[in-house]
Structure 1
Amino acid sequence: MTDLPIHAVLPDLLAALRGGSNAVLVAPPGAGKTTAVAPALLSEPWCDGEILLLSPRRLAARAAAERMAALAVEKVGGTFGYATRMDTRRSAATRVTVVTEGIFVNRIQADPELAGVCAVLFDEVHERSLDSDFGLALALDAQGALRPDLRIVAMSATLDGARFSRLMDGAPVIESEGRSYPLELRHLGRPAEARIDEPVTAAIRQALREAEGGILAFLPGVAEIERTAERLGDIPGAIVHKLHGSLDPAAQRAAIAPDPTGRRKIVLATSIAETSLTLDGIRVVVDSGLARRPRYDRAAGMTRLVTERASQASATQRAGRAARQGPG
């Protein structure tokens, strides 16, 4: 297995969980926390059941399980599996199950004791969703009332460790260094009257001329991705992939993996690619600066999607995709 920055602090994390029930892990993007922590816990004396690893997105859940299985030279559904709303791959032999936050909330409500589960790992807790916060509250409640032996770990790249430590009864905070490569930032700007797909297409074509490696472009939604793909057309020596939640798993895997024929890869993605994923070969990120988020409309009494500026934390996460495997 490739040596990752997270391996330097795994002994501290294991020691913390041998001596207590909770821990907080702060690890920058690319440190390896998503795929290295759960396998390291499997051989611990207290870990005689299943480990649940919570992921904020279906794509990230499936990719994490597939990566851990590949590192163990196994097929998904053996020691490492996943369970999402649309797809499940697990068996009686599964020891680590990557689940989306909604699946976990349903499971703990149906079984508050979490029978057979020895640890729950909350990945990317900084993203703060209702299911994530509710799931953590339910897990801590179950630990306090029914399962004092249950281990709970909160993990994130941009986590306020001290705040979560207080929430988790003074849990120790373990910090990992990241794997940093040089990252050059360029601000191109865009005309206010132009649709976002026009300047993004121009930026991608500029990157094709001036930089090497794959290109990842962040756009707010599927409509903008489709228009950008149409504007790009066929590019000699390159292939365009789309990456969003409504694609079938095979198309999502193709966008994440290296191109088998060695072509330069251009990935047009929503915010689904911000965290928990490493897209092989990406050296350039083109960021529209926009994201489409669910927001509750009091007047209408319902939740709707709103296009808004991406937060600074999101912009930092997006830019970091370009420097995970080399200078970007």
Structure 2
Amino acid sequence: MKPLPIDDVLPELLAALRTNSSVVLKAPTGAGKTTRVPPAIFAAGMAGEGNVVMLEPRRIAARATARRIAFEQGTPLGREVGYRVRFDEQVSSATRIMVVTDGILLRKLQSDPFLEGLSVVIFDEFHERNLNCDLALGMVRRVQQTVRPDLKIVVMSATFDCQPIAKFLGDCPIIESQGRLFPVDIRYLKFRDRQPIQELAVAGIEQMLELTSGDVLVFLPGVPEIHRTSRELESLARRHDLIVMPLFGDLPAEEQDRVLSPCSQRKVVLAPNVAETSITIDGITRVVDTGLAKVMRFDPDAGLDHLDLSPIS
């Protein structure tokens, strides 16, 4: 395995976890925390006879993370390393490191309030907080405080204020890792007022194709915009011999795997912000960001959550 920045702080993290029930790890994107921390904890013997469970906020990230950890550990997916998400799982009786979504962990807490068989619970990408994730952390902390003082909790994030979480976890230690910086050339595309998102995205893609021979990742607000952009790209794709690949949570697992795998043909990946964290798409050298996302907001008048199309950059 190639060295990653997180490797430098793994001894400090393991030492802190041996003497404390909880640890907060702050490490920037690309440091390697998602794929290196769970196997390091397991290899150090901290799971004992139990399992290490890591929570990922999205199904795509959970599947991709488990696949990557299994690859780095040299084991088939579903044996020592597996995942469990809604409607899909690859686990076995030999699985000791499992990547799950917040919904799966909450259902586990309902059916097994003592979390028997679990020794370490890791919350990854905690800065992407949502109600389920906060609820899961609160419930796991309550289990730790009442009936499972042996249970270990690790909260990991790239960008958030660690102090409140560390205080919530009993003033636990905070470990910080350095990341890696790469030169980035940022260009801004001129656009007309009320120009359709798909037209803006295609203009950006066409510009990127002239600058590089690598693959292009395009961030779009949601699935409808992805489909519209895909249709708008048909002519450009034929001219440049491109393969256009959507990537979103409800996509069948085999199609998600195809997007994340190396491809001999030049590809353009259309995705919402699910592709910003926890997953790596080999071959990407250019990114087109529309600067828009569908953000979940609570409407106090209606008493319901709803998605707002909002500028995010």
What is the SS of the residue equivalent to 1:127? Answer: coil
Where do residues 51-62 of structure 1 align in structure 2 (5 Å cutoff)? 51-62=52-63
Q: Distance in 2 between matches of 1:160 and 1:251?
A: 36
Aligned in 2, Cα 1:240/1:116: closer, same or farther, shift over 3 Å?
A: same
The one-letter code matched in structure 2 to 1:16 is A
Aligned in 2, Cα 1:258/1:141: closer, same or farther, shift over 3 Å?
A: same
Aligned position for 1:297: 299
Deviation, 1:257, is: 1.7
Deviation, 1:183, is: 1.0
Aligned position for 1:272: 274
The one-letter code matched in structure 1 to 2:284 is I
What is the SS of the residue equivalent to 2:145? Answer: helix
What is the SS of the residue equivalent to 2:53? Answer: strand
Aligned position for 1:2: 2
Aligned position for 2:290: 288
Deviation, 1:237, is: 3.7
What does the per-residue CA deviation read over 1:78-113, in whole Å, with 9 as the maximum and x for residues that have no partner? 010111112011111000110001111111122221
Aligned position for 1:243: 247
Aligned position for 2:25: 25
Aligned position for 2:80: 79
TM-score for the superposition, normalised by structure 2: 0.95
Aligned position for 1:255: 259
Q: Distance in 1 between matches of 2:173 and 2:301?
A: 44
Q: Distance in 2 between matches of 1:189 and 1:124?
A: 33
TM-score for the superposition, normalised by structure 1: 0.91
What is the SS of the residue equivalent to 2:306? Answer: strand
Aligned position for 1:159: 160
Aligned position for 1:39: 39
What is the SS of the residue equivalent to 1:159? Answer: coil
**Residues 236-245 or 128-137, more deviating:** 236-245
What is the SS of the residue equivalent to 2:43? Answer: coil
Aligned position for 1:326: none
Q: Distance in 1 between matches of 2:241 and 2:114?
A: 54
The one-letter code matched in structure 1 to 2:32 is G
Deviation, 1:162, is: 2.0
Where do residues 165-180 of structure 1 align in structure 2 (5 Å cutoff)? 165-180=166-181
The one-letter code matched in structure 2 to 1:175 is E
Deviation, 1:179, is: 2.0
Aligned position for 1:211: 212
Q: Distance in 2 between matches of 1:53 and 1:289?
A: 30
What does the per-residue CA deviation read over 1:286-316, in whole Å, with 9 as the maximum and x for residues that have no partner? 1111111233333444333221112xxxx5x
5+ residue gaps, structure 1, are: 316-328
Report % sequence identity: 45
What is the SS of the residue equivalent to 1:46? Answer: coil
Q: Distance in 2 between matches of 1:46 and 1:34?
A: 17
The one-letter code matched in structure 2 to 1:90 is V
What is the SS of the residue equivalent to 2:270? Answer: strand
The one-letter code matched in structure 2 to 1:250 is E
Q: Distance in 2 between matches of 1:185 and 1:302?
A: 38
Q: Distance in 1 between matches of 2:255 and 2:66?
A: 17
Q: Distance in 2 between matches of 1:232 and 1:79?
A: 41
What is the SS of the residue equivalent to 1:42? Answer: helix
Aligned position for 1:192: 193
Q: Distance in 1 between matches of 2:289 and 2:242?
A: 20
Aligned in 2, Cα 1:68/1:45: closer, same or farther, shift over 3 Å?
A: closer
Q: Distance in 2 between matches of 1:63 and 1:148?
A: 31
Q: Distance in 2 between matches of 1:43 and 1:208?
A: 44
User: What's the C-alpha RMSD, in Å, of the aligned pairs?
Assistant: 1.3
Q: Distance in 2 between matches of 1:167 and 1:2?
A: 35
Count of residue pairs brought into register by the alignment: 309
Segments of 4+ moved more than 4 angstroms? none
Deviation, 1:240, is: 1.2
